[in-house]
Amino acid sequence: MFDLISFDQLTAAWGPQISIILRFCSAFALLHFIVLRPLYNFFLHPLREYPGPRLWAASVLPWACMFLSGQSHRRLRELHDRYGRTVRLGPNELSFTVPEAWNDIMGRSKPGIRQENPKAPWYLSPSSKDIIGALHDDHTRMRRLMAGGFSTAAMQQQQQIIKSYVDLLIGRLHISAAQDDLIDIHAWYNYCTFDIIGDLTFGESFGCLDEAAMHPWISLIFANIRLTAFILVFKRIPVLLALLPFFVSYKLVKQFREHQQISREKVAKRLEFKDSRADFVQDMITGKAGQVECLRGMQTMSRDELVNNSVILTLAGSETTATSLAGATYLIMKDRRVERRILEELRSRFSEAEDMDLMNVATLPYLGAVTEECLRLYPPGPNAQPRITPPKGNTILGKYIPGNTILGIPHRAMYLSESNFTRPTEFIPERWLDPTRSEEFAGDRRECFHPFSYGPRNCIGMNLAYAELRLILARVIWDFEMEISASSEGWMENQDSYLLWQKQPLWVRLVPRKGDSESVRESAPYSSRDRL
């Protein structure tokens, strides 16, 4: 109505010619976007040879609908099952479940062969002043500055801090188990991983384990994850920005501002510490641990970068690990055989829970196999972290792909593909055991498995994540027999996914173990064949 009135007023003022021109332009724009462009995309576009649904080849909208539906993980797997290992997901988008794609898409530049594929611009975080969103050179600088905090030497220094929070978690779980019938184990894992990352980043915990509650700052961060997911789609398809107010409330925007302010204050407080501390902020100020004098005073990372990277570490280093722990707990609770084997392995190596630390649990083969299998069936970021070919194009899997093509490797579709793993939907940690794994799994394409991504922008916190996963799982299984509540049946299978999984509480009953492995009950082996 308003449009018509203003259009008529315009034509009255400018005469009939302008009216004809405007009508022609509108008609042409409509024709272009609704008919010509899709026809070009479908019949003439350089990616026309790649298989995929027709509508998806014509327009980016089906992808957007999939992304906003929270069903990407399911849909991507169905599409790969139906169309093969390379699928066209949009006019200029390809998705791969071929193991070699990791190197070609995420790997470093190879002079004369291939340039590095940068992150898709709409995928970058709202600020490019952090390690996840930074362009190539800034990323290299930040990554170098942050790497010291993730070295083996740094982890040895961090060991006592991490262990103290795991002790606290176990103590708090014992108290809760005595008081409550059911507890949300995912929430407790979150409390623990946030307290650890708070201490490792800012030199103080968030107090989540003490309070048995998420710190309000963290709730703000979670609000921002949702916001980021929506912004990402709207950045890719700017015309959809008109829909933003329907998805993003004023409250969310206000929370985003508050969150920026609190982040600044937290970093400012941390910078007031005069003595040097073995935390990530220290590394970002000084570069490598031990090179304090040589780098202090040089502008190595701006204040904004410091703030943003601290927030990134808090987020990336906690929720992902807590998600994996919850997923692993769920899968282990569903398969008592696996639980028994873990317990046997632990009891054959340790006589006291206190003997376990980050380093010695890393040498337990079965526990290691279980963590791999859990990350395979339930990768915390289930979908792709897209890249884009440089303007001149690139050679991917031996074929020229034109410039500005979006390239994705959806983790979950890759790991649940029958081309890559035998009995892919079943929980079989033994497939990872060398040298005792059965011949049946000899054909598993393990090189396709990169839950922490691959190449120069892979996860900087991978070793820390594995260390936390193993220690926390080992300690929880050592102390408790866990039983899933009926209300959490299907917890894993029924989740939606955006950038991360959208999780419900994982309600479990905890019973302190009496000390004999016989207390592990029987259950049928877990297979998610029909549900994932």
Binding-site residues for heme sit at 459
Give the phi and the psi of residue 28 in degrees, each rounded to 5: -65, -40
> What single-letter amino acid sits at 18?
I
If one asks whether residue 484 binds ligand HEM (CB under 6 A), the answer comes out as no
What contacts 25, CB < 8 A, 6 or more positions away?
none
Positive or negative torsion for Cα 504, 510, 515, 519: negative
List, edge to edge, every strand of the sheet that includes 406-408. Answer: 86-90, 93-96, 406-408, 387-388
Q: What minimum distance in Å lies between the beta carbon of 107 and ligand HEM?
A: 13
Q: What minimum distance in Å lies between the beta carbon of 175 and ligand HEM?
A: 27
Question: How many whole angstroms from its chain centre is CA 518?
Answer: 37
Is residue 130 within 8 A of residue 309, CB to CB? The reply is yes
Q: Which of residues 189-218 bind ligand HEM (CB under 6 A)?
A: 197
Question: How many whole angstroms from its chain centre is CA 177?
Answer: 30
Closer to ligand HEM by Cβ: residue 148 or 461: 461
If one asks whether residue 313 binds ligand HEM (CB under 6 A), the answer comes out as yes
CA separation for the pair 438, 467 (Å, rounded): 27
- DSSP notation for 17-32: HHHHHHHHHHHHHHHI
Q: What minimum distance in Å lies between the beta carbon of 17 and ligand HEM?
A: 51
Stretch of residues binding ligand HEM (CB under 6 A), selected from 31-39, 108-116, 282-290, 454-462: 454-462
- In three-state secondary structure terms, 112 is coil
Stretch of residues binding ligand HEM (CB under 6 A), selected from 208-216, 318-326, 389-397, 470-478: 318-326
Of 172, 254, 255, 177, which Cα lies nearest the Cα of 213?
172
- Between strands 93-96 and 406-408, the pairing is parallel
Stretch of residues binding ligand HEM (CB under 6 A), selected from 27-35, 178-186, 320-328, 438-446: 320-328
DSSP conformation class of 241: G
What contacts 231, CB < 8 A, 6 or more positions away?
126, 248
Residue 227's alpha-carbon distances to 125, 217, 244, 252, 260, in angstroms, are 11, 15, 10, 7, 14
- Only one residue has tokens 């490598």, namely 288
Q: Which of 52, 381, 408, 410 binds ligand HEM (CB under 6 A)?
A: 381
- In three-state secondary structure terms, 327 is helix
If one asks whether residue 407 binds ligand HEM (CB under 6 A), the answer comes out as no
Of 252, 251, 257, which Cα lies nearest the Cα of 231?
252
If one asks whether residue 459 binds ligand HEM (CB under 6 A), the answer comes out as yes
Closer to ligand HEM by Cβ: residue 197 or 338: 197
CA separation for the pair 473, 468 (Å, rounded): 8
If one asks whether residue 143 binds ligand HEM (CB under 6 A), the answer comes out as yes
Q: What minimum distance in Å lies between the beta carbon of 138 and ligand HEM?
A: 11
Q: What minimum distance in Å lies between the beta carbon of 461 and ligand HEM?
A: 2
- Angle, CA 231 vertex, CA 217 and CA 202 arms, to 5°: 25
For ligand HEM, how many residues bind (rule: CB under 6 A)? 24
Q: What minimum distance in Å lies between the beta carbon of 41 and ligand HEM?
A: 27
If one asks whether residue 461 binds ligand HEM (CB under 6 A), the answer comes out as yes
Closer to ligand HEM by Cβ: residue 156 or 523: 156
Q: Which of 448, 465, 473, 500 binds ligand HEM (CB under 6 A)?
A: 465
- Comparing every residue's Cβ against ligand HEM, the nearest one is 461
If one asks whether residue 385 binds ligand HEM (CB under 6 A), the answer comes out as yes
If one asks whether residue 457 binds ligand HEM (CB under 6 A), the answer comes out as yes
CA separation for the pair 112, 104 (Å, rounded): 14
Torsion (CA) 216, 221, 223, 225 in degrees, nearest 10: -160
Stretch of residues binding ligand HEM (CB under 6 A), selected from 36-44, 257-265, 316-324, 424-432: 316-324
- In three-state secondary structure terms, 332 is helix
Task: Tell me the binding residues.
Answer: 459
Closer to ligand HEM by Cβ: residue 117 or 420: 117
CA separation for the pair 306, 303 (Å, rounded): 5
Q: What minimum distance in Å lies between the beta carbon of 265 and ligand HEM?
A: 21
CA separation for the pair 423, 426 (Å, rounded): 6
Q: What minimum distance in Å lies between the beta carbon of 324 and ligand HEM?
A: 4
Q: Which of 317, 327, 368, 429 binds ligand HEM (CB under 6 A)?
A: 317
Stretch of residues binding ligand HEM (CB under 6 A), selected from 20-28, 339-347, 349-357, 447-455: 447-455
Stretch of residues binding ligand HEM (CB under 6 A), selected from 155-163, 282-290, 456-464, 471-479: 456-464
If one asks whether residue 109 binds ligand HEM (CB under 6 A), the answer comes out as no
Of 187, 166, 185, which Cα lies nearest the Cα of 177?
185
Chain length of the chain: 532
If one asks whether residue 228 binds ligand HEM (CB under 6 A), the answer comes out as no
If one asks whether residue 336 binds ligand HEM (CB under 6 A), the answer comes out as no
Of 234, 260, 258, which Cα lies nearest the Cα of 246?
234
If one asks whether residue 453 binds ligand HEM (CB under 6 A), the answer comes out as yes
Report residue 477 as tokens: 């299984």
Give the phi and the psi of residue 512 in degrees, each rounded to 5: -60, 135
Window 33-72: contact mask with ligand HEM (x via CB under 6 A): ----------------------------------------
Q: What minimum distance in Å lies between the beta carbon of 300 and ligand HEM?
A: 16
Stretch of residues binding ligand HEM (CB under 6 A), selected from 203-211, 309-317, 487-495, 497-505: 309-317
If one asks whether residue 409 binds ligand HEM (CB under 6 A), the answer comes out as no
Closer to ligand HEM by Cβ: residue 41 or 432: 432
Which positions lie near ligand HEM, rule CB under 6 A?
131-132, 143, 197, 312-313, 316-317, 320-321, 324, 380-381, 385, 451-453, 457-461, 464-465
